[in-house]
Structure formats: structure tokens, C-alpha cells
Amino acid sequence: MSCIFCRIVAGEIPATVVAQGDRWLAFRDIDAKAPTHVLIVPREHLASLHALTGAHAMLMGEIVVAAARIAEAERLTGGFRIVANAGPDAGQSVDHIHFHVLGGRPLGWPPG
Ligand code: AMP
């Protein structure tokens, strides 16, 4: 298994897990870009948002709700951001869908 996030989901490489559900896992980004930087990934390998179909709608909803609960748990009272990079123009560097949950400082807009 070569996908690094599949290996984290499988417990083959360590990660700091902050929350999980039957179909997703949330863990801290190894190179945090904000005081809170959590990644939420589906347990199923999906290379990018391009791979989504209507069959994934419930899973995607669960992940967005999970992001809101994580923001609460992290006490991101000033707000937070969810980011999902898809494809090279967006700078996607790991080919397994992941949602960044960022907060804990003013994040600025637009992103670079
Ligand atoms: P992206 O550039 O949107 O594809 O985001 C990939 C993210 O995965 C980056 O923020 C990396 O820091 C993060 N990352 C890569 N490897 C690991 C790992 N082993 N554990 C936690 N986060 C990772």
C-alpha cells in the first residue's frame, strides 16, 4: 500500500488522531500551517475530489459536520476554514482526498 493516508488509516504509520468515524479519520497535519491544522480523510481511498459521485454525498456531509465538531473541540471561537485542494493547480500533494481544518489565528483571504 503506497498511499500515505491509507497507511495512516490502516495504523501502519503513526498520526495524532483527534477524531474518527466509521468512514473517516481526523489527525493533525505533520506540518501545521496554523495553531490548529487537522486533516480529515475518508477511510476509503479516493484520489481527489474529482473521483466523487453522488454515492459519496453522505460521506462528504459527515466530514463537514466532523470539521465543525473538531473546530468546537479545538475552541476555534474566532472561526475556522475548511480547505480541500484538488489537482495540481490547487497544490494537492497527497493523492487521497483530505480536508484541512485550519484555525487559531486570522487566516487571511484569498489564499496564495
Ligand atoms: P495538500 O497539499 O492539500 O495535498 O495537503 C497535504 C497535507 O498532508 C500537507 O499539509 C502535509 O503537511 C500533510 N501530510 C503529509 N504527510 C503527512 C503525515 N504523514 N501526517 C500528517 N500530515 C501529513
Measuring from each residue's beta carbon to the nearest atom of ligand 1, which residues come in under 6 Å? 4, 15, 29-31, 39, 85, 91-94, 98
For the segment 47-89, what is each residue's pLDDT rounded down to a tens digit?
A: 999 999 999 999 999 999 999 999 999 999 999 999 999 999 9
Residue 111: predicted pLDDT: 81
Atom of ligand 1 nearest to the CA of 28: 21
Residues with a catalytic annotation lie at 98
Distance of CA 7 from the midpoint of ligand 1 (Å): 13
- What mean pLDDT value characterizes the chain? 97
Mutational pocket test of ligand 1: of 1, 2, 4, the residue with most ligand atoms within 8 Å of the beta carbon = 4
3-class SS at 64? helix
CA quadruple 47, 51, 55, 57: dihedral positive or negative?
A: positive
